[in-house]
């Protein structure tokens, strides 16, 4: 069986003969037919291709969805807490800097804030103590999280942070040296 395909839009009809006896030739013939139709339609025709199958086309689609939870739920809470703590520390940084600039508080050798010159006004003293307490609580959490991540003692992490805070201190601020003596930088 050798069907013929004529290419419309040509002066003299061209005939293409192909054999449908082998699947490779079927695919090649189909490509050639579509190519010839495409070349013939470059002049502006819009061919209509009708596909008729004896049965509806069935498509078998398999989907595999794997969901992995990489962190434990408690870890997600800790990470959320870390974000909140970081935000609180950022908001509190101006207050801390003001207290440091007034020489009321300083950085101790363990990486925490300490009262150096308590204010005389009881309300201002309570305010300074509340800032110190809130910051030291957040720093304690920060040191603990870093110690667990690095698998190091918390005291060592605190000492590393104390050195960082000392190095970042502005001139005139109170810092405690590793030997325990307090100096104004």
- Supply the pTM of this predicted model: 0.56
The domain spans of the chain are: 1-67, 73-184
pLDDT in tens, 1-38: 444 444 444 444 444 443 444 444 455 555 656 555 55
37 half-sphere exposure, CB direction, 13 A CA radius = 11
pLDDT band at 116 (very low <50, low <70, confident <90, very high): very high
Counting beta carbons within 10 angstroms of the beta carbon of residue 111, is it exposed (0 to 12), middle (13 to 18) or buried (19 or more)?
buried
């Amino acid at each position: 069986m050798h069907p013929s395909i004529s290419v419309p839009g040509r002066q003299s009809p061209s005939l293409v003969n192909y054999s449908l006896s082998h699947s490779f030739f079927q695919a090649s013939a189909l490509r050639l037919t579509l190519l010839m139709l495409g070349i013939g339609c470059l002049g502006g025709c819009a061919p209509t291709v009708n596909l008729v199958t004896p049965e509806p086309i069935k498509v078998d689609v398999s989907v595999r969805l794997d969901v992995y939870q990489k962190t434990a739920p408690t870890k997600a809470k800790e990470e959320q807490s870390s974000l909140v703590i970081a935000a609180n520390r950022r908001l509190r940084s101006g207050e801390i800097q003001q207290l440091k600039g007034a020489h009321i508080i300083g950085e101790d050798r363990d990486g925490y804030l300490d009262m150096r010159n308590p204010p005389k006004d009881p309300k201002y003293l309570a305010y300074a103590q509340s800032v110190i307490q809130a910051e030291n609580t957040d720093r304690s959490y920060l040191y603990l999280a870093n110690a667990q991540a690095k698998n190091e003692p918390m005291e060592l992490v605190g000492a590393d942070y104390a050195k960082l805070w000392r190095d970042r201190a502005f001139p005139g601020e109170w810092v405690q040296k590793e030997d325990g003596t307090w100096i104004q930088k």
